[in-house]
Amino acid sequence: MTIALAIALSALAMTLIVGVRYLIASGGFALATRIRHPGLYRGLDGQMRREVAWSLASAAIYGVPAGIVAWGWQNRDWTRIYTDAAAWPLWYLPVSLLLYLFAHDTWFYWTHRWMHRPRPFRIAHAVHHASRPPTAWAAMSFHPWEALTGALVIPVLVFVIPIHVAVLALVLTIMTVMGVTNHMGWEIFPRFIHSGPLGRWLITASHHQRHHAEYRCNYGLYFRFWDRLCGTDKGLGRFDLPGRGGDGGAVRAAGGSGSGGIA
């Protein structure tokens, strides 16, 4: 087998893995939504089909660089991914997890904020914000240009920051779960997480929902650090849920409604 064919097969395999992971995660949380809040996604069938289509296209864009890096790790020792837990001190395992999450969050915050400038928004980011309100299927609903910015960060980090393969798997799991749950239209985490002291620094659906409602705030992915430091943190949003005075699907942020504005 030629090297080019081996790399292509690795990229195809990773594309399938990312796509199936998306379908399982988003499908599972969409099912949880149907059970927990029946009717929340009523009338959004067409939107959800578009979200799935854009997300599966994004899966290919995420899968190709991941597949190339995976081949290089297994066959050429390109990366700093390691499998022997004793290669680094045990205390480094949680440290590496936090380093990856913070680096990813930093990249996401600044690229996301840049995409809310008029031209990048119009060209690419408007695809994601076309989901109004977003659903569990919207986690990877990106224009290809936006998907490309997100697809490169983890493959680049594995060349720079040492990480155990199991911790890398945990990073990818957290990335998937947070991407889906932040868009579900309701808060899956208990109140002590999203509204307590921990919630002052961690992002959940309550925080990200306000971004989708007002556009000019709450740009982070995992942590509120950059939003707080840069004055773009506008606090938590709220949800109008079926049976709680809502209209069966509309979602608003506390203190304002979606204006379609661009920062």
Binned at pLDDT 50, 70 and 90, residue 89 comes out as: very high
Predicted confidence at residue 194, as pLDDT, reads 87
Report the alpha-carbon distance of residue 29 to residue 17 in Å, rounded.
Answer: 18
Average pLDDT over residues 94-103: 98
- Core vs surface per residue 38-52: b (16+ CB within 10 A) or e: eebbeebeebbebbb
Using one digit for the tens of pLDDT, what is the confidence trace for 125-159? Answer: 999 999 999 999 999 999 999 999 999 999 999 99
Using one digit for the tens of pLDDT, what is the confidence trace for 182-216? Answer: 999 999 999 888 888 988 999 999 999 999 999 99
Q: Is the pLDDT of residue 260 over 70?
A: no
76 contact partners, CB below 8 Å, separation of at least 6 = none
Predicted confidence at residue 245, as pLDDT, reads 43
Average pLDDT over residues 37-46: 96
Please tell me whether the overall predicted TM-score, pTM, comes out greater than 0.95 for this model. no
Average pLDDT over residues 5-12: 96
Please give the residue that has the higher pLDDT: either 237 or 166.
166
Predicted confidence at residue 243, as pLDDT, reads 54
Angle, helices 165-181/3-36, rounded to nearest 10 degrees: 40
